[in-house]
Structure 1
Amino acid sequence: MRIIDKALSDRGSTYAVSGGPVDSADAAKAFVKTLCRKKKFAKATHNTWAVLLPDGPLKNDDGESGAGMVILRMLEREGLTGHIIVVTRWFGGTKLGGDRFRRVQDAVWVYLDDLWAG
C-alpha cells in the first residue's frame, strides 16, 4: 500500500492519495477497509476510489458525488488496470464547487507521478 499523505490542500481541505495492486472487487473493498483502519483515514470526510478490473470498472464516491468517475477516467486514460487509487479528503470548511474535481485529478496525478518514478 502506497500512501502519499498531505498530497495537496485547497482552501482548508487537505488531500491524501493512496493505492496499490488489487485483483478483484473483494480485494478493492479490503484495500479501502485496511486504509480506514488507520484512524486518520477513518475520520476523513471522503475516501473516494476507483479501479479497473478484468470484470469491469469499480468506483465509490463516498459522498463526493462524481469523484469516483474522475479517478476511473484517469485510470482508463493511463491504461492502469488492477491498481486501486483512493483519494482522501478532509473537509476544511469551504466548499470547493467544481474545483473539487480538479483537486481529485491533481491528487491522482501526484500518485501516478510517484508510481511511475519508481
Structure 2
Amino acid sequence: MSEELRDELEAINSIYGDGCLVPSDDANIYVLQPPGESSSLRIEFPPTYPAVPPVVLGTNSTGDRGKRGDAAREFSLFCQALSAVYEPGTVCLFDAIEELTRLLESEASDENQDQDTTPENEVHTSAAAENVVHAHDTHALEIPEPPWILSDPFIEQKSVFIARCAHVSSTEEAEVFVQHLLASDKKVRTATHNITAWRIKGPNNTTFQDCNDDGETAAGGRLLHLMQLMDLWNVMVIVTRWYGGHKLGPRRFALINQTARDAFVKAGLVSENPNKKKSTGKG
C-alpha cells in the first residue's frame, strides 16, 4: 500500500466513519460504502495510484443496502463522479464521494419536483427535524453552491483537516458562504472546528478583514496572518477540523495553515514553490 493510499484510507474513515473504505480479500481491491444509503462499491487501486486512477469494478455482491436498479444507477453515477474529479498524481476519493453525494441529491431534487401529490402534513426535511437550519439560514440555502476550491485532507494522529477557499467580493457574501456550507453539509456542521478568515477590498480603497476561531483559540488570527503574508485579497478560507482523540499542541496551528495554503495553491492564488514570489488574489 502506498503512503498516499494509506493516508487517504485513514482520512476517508475518519471523515465518514470506520468501515467506509475497507480492504477486501483481493489484493489492491477495497470496498467503499459511501455515506447514506448508497450501494457499496468494489474499487481497485493500482500500485501506482494516484499517478493512475482507481478502477471501479462494480457493486459489492454482499451486504448491499440498495435495490439492484439503484445499485446500477449509483455505480454509473460514481464512475461519472470519479471521471469528473480525478487528476493524475492527486488522491481523489474524497472528492469523488462528495461529487457522488451532489449527483444523488440533484437526482432526488429532480424527482421531488416531479411529485406534486404528497400531502402537506407528510412533507418534512431532516435538517428541520435536527433543528440545525434556522430561519436566518434560509437565504443562504437559496444561493448557488459557493465556488469552493478544496485542499487535500491533512491527517495527524487521526485528526483530519480540510480547507475550502473561494473568491468573495463583500463581507456579506463571505458570511452567506459560511452559512451555506454549515446549513448544507452535515459533516462540516458537526466538525470540531470550522475556522474562517477573509480579506476584502471594498469601494473607495476600503478594506475589510476578519476571522473566527470557532473554539480553536488564536487559530483564526493565525489564518488571517497567513493571508496577510501572502497578500491575498477578495478571498475567504474555511479550515474544518475533525478531532481525532489526540491533542496536537501547537502543531495544530501549523496543520491549519498548511491545509489553508494547499487550498490557495489549488485555487491558483499562490505558487507551489515557496521561493517564488507569491501571487495575489484577484479582485
Q: Same fold (TM over 0.5)?
A: yes
RMSD (CA atoms)? 1.8
Alignment partner of 1:10 out of 150, 156, 161: 156
User: Hey, what does 1:52 align to over in structure 2?
Assistant: 199
Q: What amino acid sits opposite 2:150 in the alignment?
A: I
User: Hey, what does 2:167 align to over in structure 1?
Assistant: 21
Aligned residues: 118
Q: Which runs of 5 or more residues in structure 2 are unaligned?
A: 1-146, 202-206, 270-283
Q: Can you list the C-alpha shifts for 1:30-76, whole angstroms capped at 9, x where unaligned?
A: 11111112111111111001011233211001001111111111111
Percent identity, aligned pairs only? 30
User: Hey, what does 2:251 align to over in structure 1?
Assistant: 99
Normalised by the size of structure 2, how large is the TM-score? 0.40
SS of residue matched to 2:187: helix
Q: In structure 2, how many angstroms separate the alpha carbons of the residues matched to 1:113 and 1:5? A: 9
Q: What amino acid sits opposite 1:47 in the alignment?
A: N
RCO higher in 1 or 2 (8 Å CA, sep ≥ 6)? Answer: 1
Q: In structure 1, how many angstroms separate the alpha carbons of the residues matched to 2:263 and 2:151? A: 10
Structure with higher strand content: 1
SS of residue matched to 2:255: helix
Q: Which runs of 5 or more residues in structure 1 are unaligned?
A: none
1:109 CA drift (Å): 1.7
1:4 CA drift (Å): 2.3
SS of residue matched to 2:268: helix
User: Hey, what does 2:263 align to over in structure 1?
Assistant: 111
Normalised by the size of structure 1, how large is the TM-score? 0.91
Contact in 2 for aligned 1:7/1:110 (Cα 8 Å): no
The structure with the larger Rg is 2
- 1:37-76 correspondence runs (5 A): 37-54=184-201, 55-76=207-228
